[in-house]
Amino acid sequence: MNARKLTTMAAAVAAAAALAGCTELSQESARSYMGKEDAKAYAGDQFKGDKQKWEQSLATRAASQNEYLRTQAAK
């Protein structure tokens, strides 16, 4: 094996080692949940499975926490 091949291999190994630090690990738990199944929050009587309506309701409430918007709207 000549020196050039060795250098190429060493560079490839070094690049692989360096790039390994860029890997984004999954944030999903490796453990499995053993308990009871939970119903979706929008599955109740109020939203009857309408996810979009439920999300809109939460978004409206979340946005109302920004009083800068509320005071500007009042002017």
Query: What are the residues binding other proteins (CB under 8 A)?
Result: 27, 29, 31-47, 51, 53-55, 57-59, 61-63, 65-68
Nearer to other proteins, 12 or 59 (CB): 59
Q: How far apart are the first and last CA of the chain?
A: 79
Nearer to other proteins, 16 or 68 (CB): 68
| CB of residue 23 to other proteins, shortest distance in Å | 15
Nearer to other proteins, 23 or 29 (CB): 29
| CB of residue 18 to other proteins, shortest distance in Å | 24
CA 4 → CA 8, 16, 20, 25, 73, distances in Å?
6, 18, 24, 35, 70
Contact 47, 53 (CB under 8 A): yes
Q: How far apart are CA 73 and CA 67, in angstroms?
A: 10
